[in-house]
């Protein structure tokens, strides 16, 4: 009887593991899809009259989308009792860093042609570039310390360090607002979403 129960338990755990691996692979592909579509559009000259600007902005937009998605996972887990979604938070966060990195790389490659002098001048001259650069620097330690090994090594300091995601998200939206020249609808909607997510966390902290 015990052998049968153990075998059934093993089979159930194995099926769950396979299911988790499948969904992880599916989410990975979905997260990568926007990048593939942007690259494909660039190769086919489908990014409009200013393809460089369109590519840089699209990659930056997706970086912000993934930042906000990562911030949404914890509230969704608590409110809707979706405990399984927490396993995808790290992947979403790393994809946010990936898109922001591609946004930055596209800027220094296709707009500045890796000219350090021009990049420094642009950072000093244009405030929204300054904020974007600072934001990228702040994201780097979050990406480098995202592993379980670093979590164990840093202990309580890991949580303190990763609270940087809140100012990073706010600076990302400020960067967006400063970059937009006319249509503020999208950044305004993103600001509302971020305000709700940060407000939810503030209320929980006050209750504690």
With vertex at residue 54, the alpha carbon angle to CA 51 and CA 56, rounded to the nearest 5 degrees, is 105
172 and 135 Cβ atoms separated by less than 8 Å: yes
Question: Given the structure tokens 């620097």, which residue do they identify?
Answer: 137
| pLDDT digit string, tens, across residues 135-147 | 999 999 999 999 9
Question: What is the per-residue pLDDT for 6?
Answer: 47
Is residue 3 in a domain? no
178 and 127 Cβ atoms separated by less than 8 Å: yes
Is residue 56 in a domain? yes
Question: Given the structure tokens 């009792």, which residue do they identify?
Answer: 81
Is residue 38 in a domain? no
- Comparison of pLDDT for 81 and 42, the residue scoring more: 42
| pLDDT digit string, tens, across residues 37-64 | 999 999 999 998 999 999 999 999 999 9
Tell me phi and psi for residue 34, to 5 degrees: -55, -40
Is residue 35 in a domain? no
Is residue 192 in a domain? yes
State the residue range of the domain holding 172.
49-207
Is residue 19 in a domain? no
| pLDDT digit string, tens, across residues 95-122 | 999 999 999 999 999 999 999 999 999 9
Is residue 2 in a domain? no
Is residue 37 in a domain? no
Q: Which long-range contacts (CB under 8 A, 24 or more apart) does 142-150 make?
A: 142/93, 142/97, 142/168, 143/93, 143/94, 143/97, 146/90, 146/93, 146/94
Confidence of residue 86 (pLDDT cuts 50, 70, 90): confident
Confidence of residue 8 (pLDDT cuts 50, 70, 90): low
Average pLDDT taken over every residue of the chain? 89
Confidence of residue 180 (pLDDT cuts 50, 70, 90): confident
How many distinct structural domains can be found in the chain?
1
């Amino acid at each position: 009887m015990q052998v049968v129960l153990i075998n059934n338990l093993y089979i159930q755990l194995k099926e769950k593991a396979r299911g988790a691996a499948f969904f992880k692979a599916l989410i990975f592909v979905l997260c990568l899809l926007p990048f593939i579509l942007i690259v494909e559009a660039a190769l086919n000259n489908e990014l409009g009259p200013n393809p460089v600007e369109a590519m840089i902005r699209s990659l930056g937009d997706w970086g912000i989308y993934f930042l906000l998605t990562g911030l949404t996972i914890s509230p969704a887990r608590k409110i809707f009792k979706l405990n399984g979604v927490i396993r995808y938070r790290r992947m979403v966060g790393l994809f946010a860093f990936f898109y922001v990195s591609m946004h930055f790389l596209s800027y220094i490659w296709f707009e500045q042609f890796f000219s350090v002098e021009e990049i420094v001048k642009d950072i000093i001259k244009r405030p929204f570039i300054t904020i974007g650069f600072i934001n990228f620097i702040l994201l780097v330690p979050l990406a480098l310390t995202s592993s379980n090994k670093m979590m164990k090594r840093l202990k309580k300091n890991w949580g303190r360090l990763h609270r940087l995601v809140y100012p990073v998200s706010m600076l990302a939206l400020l960067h967006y607002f400063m970059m937009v020249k006319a249509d503020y609808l999208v950044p305004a909607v993103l600001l509302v979403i971020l305000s709700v997510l940060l407000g939810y966390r503030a209320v929980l902290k006050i209750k504690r």
